[in-house]
Structure 1
């Protein structure tokens, strides 16, 4: 019976470690874009990397708006590098209809997301919603 208890305990600890979510997963609010819209981005694990999908968009008054970008994948293949750093991903910038190399840095409830196309980089700091 003791051996069975040991296997069950090992399974519980192993299973818990396997299902622990990456600290950057969750729902994030963007800064206003060039059209003055903010969005909610759902960051989730996609295999060994992270991806983000636009869940909702809001006008400057905080009212939800319908845009063709809601439901679209915003970034993918963003790989954890350790210490809150993520790199080697791809980001889609809907306003410019361009893809770029993506990286991010997590610090508490802030996620700094940067996209670079050649030597030109731009980004935003997102705030965790949940």
Structure 2
């Protein structure tokens, strides 16, 4: 009975630590230039790929901001609720890649790489075009 209890505890712990090491969840975005918290983004899995939408804008003065510089169907859409992460897939090496991330401030779309760090408490978000990239380090909220 003791062995069964230990085995079940180990299984539960491994599942919890795996869940913490995925990008799925709610994240506080941190601007890489100002180091200020900007928004909350919820990342979820849909059909085997990750998507992420702006769930909350932290600056009260920007609650009604729209994506003026975006292209296509996202142009002039409210940033609150906007899907900014699309198509990231598990690369099998602890990162999620092949997706895209939209910067609603400049309307640019970047190739995306998401890498959970610090036991899943921090998410390295890398957006890149060719050899040029930007990193942000988001903080897990839940």
TM-score normalised by the chain length of structure 1: 0.73
Tell me the residue number matched to 1:79.
89
Q: 1:91 aligns with which of 80, 96, 101?
A: 101
Larger-gyration structure (1/2): 1
Tell me the residue number matched to 1:118.
130
Q: For residues 48 and 100 of structure 2, what CA distance do their matches in structure 1 show? A: 14
Write out per-residue CA displacement over residues 18-76 of structure 1, whole angstroms, 9 at most, x where no aligned residue: xx9683211000103668561100000021110110011113xxx57402211101111
Secondary structure at 2:30's aligned position in 1?
A: coil
Q: For residues 81 and 129 of structure 1, what CA distance do their matches in structure 2 show? A: 24
Q: For residues 126 and 90 of structure 1, what CA distance do their matches in structure 2 show? A: 16
Q: Comparing both structures, which one devotes a greater share of its residues to helix? A: 2
Q: 1:56 to 1:33 in 2, by over 3 A?
A: farther
Shift of residue 120 of structure 1? 1.0
Write out per-residue CA displacement over residues 96-127 of structure 1, whole angstroms, 9 at most, x where no aligned residue: 11111111101221110111112210020001
Q: Comparing both structures, which one devotes a greater share of its residues to strand? A: 1
Tell me the residue number matched to 1:41.
41
Secondary structure at 1:82's aligned position in 2?
A: coil
Is the 1:110–1:128 Cα contact (8 Å) retained in structure 2? Answer: yes
Q: For residues 88 and 105 of structure 2, what CA distance do their matches in structure 1 show? A: 21
* Gapped regions of structure 2 (runs ≥ 5): 1-14, 67-78
Is the 1:37–1:57 Cα contact (8 Å) retained in structure 2? Answer: no
Tell me the residue number matched to 1:25.
24
